[in-house]
Amino acid sequence: MNNAIWLCAALAWPVLAQDARQIVEESQRRGKANSQRYEGVLEVTGADSKVTRKSWQSRRLGAYGNSKAVIHFTAPAEVKGVALLVVNHPDRSSDQWMWTPAIGRDRRIALQDRSTRFFGTDFSFEDLEERDVDQYEYRLTGEEAIELAPCWRIEARPKQSKTSQYTLSRMWIRKDNYVPAQYENFVKDQPVRRLQQRDIQNVQGIWTARTLEITDLRRKSRTVLRLEKLEYNIPLKEDDFTVQALRRDQ
């Protein structure tokens, strides 16, 4: 790269970085809801093409990146009752606890275990937390269509204060409704997980992806999550988002 081109690129970098952050902020703003509830139907396809099906119920309360969420498995029988509490923080990694009825106890998910799969799905524990905009540095790297929808392509790298299994995340945010169409997460510049968001519908004024497909690129497995009975801004109680509530709800 000659000096003139390098200088132009260097001068453009702050503008691109700021634009990227604004796009992500707008995406989060448009998806803002005080609460959310849905029933999730999951289809997990292993590297051997074996398919298993699971169901869970999800509840969420609070502002993006500073919220609480609970996931309860409802089927099949061997996972029914397993629950995960995620307490998101704007300035650090989430706190997570999992309740396992088979052993009758809860356990805190350690940071070093966040990269492991969540109960046989292709979501890791970290994938189930919310990612506040201030925990990343952003760069706009171009434009690209995902399934014919024009998107901004943005790179996000975690700041030092953020503990993450991923060294880099790429996201494609649709220009028409600001819904992220795709994410790719990297470890040491190697892609390890891809999340595609489809079946985008307007639900109570919020454009929402009703189908999520996450692929573990190393395991060659994938999980499709379909959101059913989705509701926003419904009455929920703070008391339902505690470790004690995980035990009480069984």
Per-residue pLDDT of the chain (250 residues; tens, 9 = 90+): 444 433 333 334 344 555 999 999 999 999 999 999 999 999 999 999 999 999 999 999 998 889 999 999 999 999 999 999 999 998 889 999 999 998 888 999 998 899 999 999 999 999 999 988 989 999 999 999 999 999 999 999 998 755 789 999 999 999 999 999 999 999 988 999 999 999 999 999 999 999 999 999 999 999 999 999 999 999 999 999 999 998 876 5
User: Model's pTM, two decimal places?
Assistant: 0.89
Write down the residue that tokens 């937390």 correspond to.
129
**Does residue 15 sit in helix, strand or coil?**
helix
Total domains in the chain come to: 1
- CATH number for position 53: 2.50.20.10
Residue type, 113: D
Supply 124's token pair.
């890791």
In terms of Cβ atoms closer than 10 Å to its own Cβ (0-12, 13-18, 19+), residue 169 is buried
Beta strand ranges found along 92-205 (DSSP E): 95-100, 105-108, 136-146, 149-158, 168-174, 180-187, 190-203
Inter-CA distances, 65 with 7, 80, 156, 173, Å: 36, 28, 16, 18
107 C-beta neighbours (distance < 10 Å), count:
13
Structural domain boundaries enclosing 155? 3-248
Supply 193's token pair.
């997980």
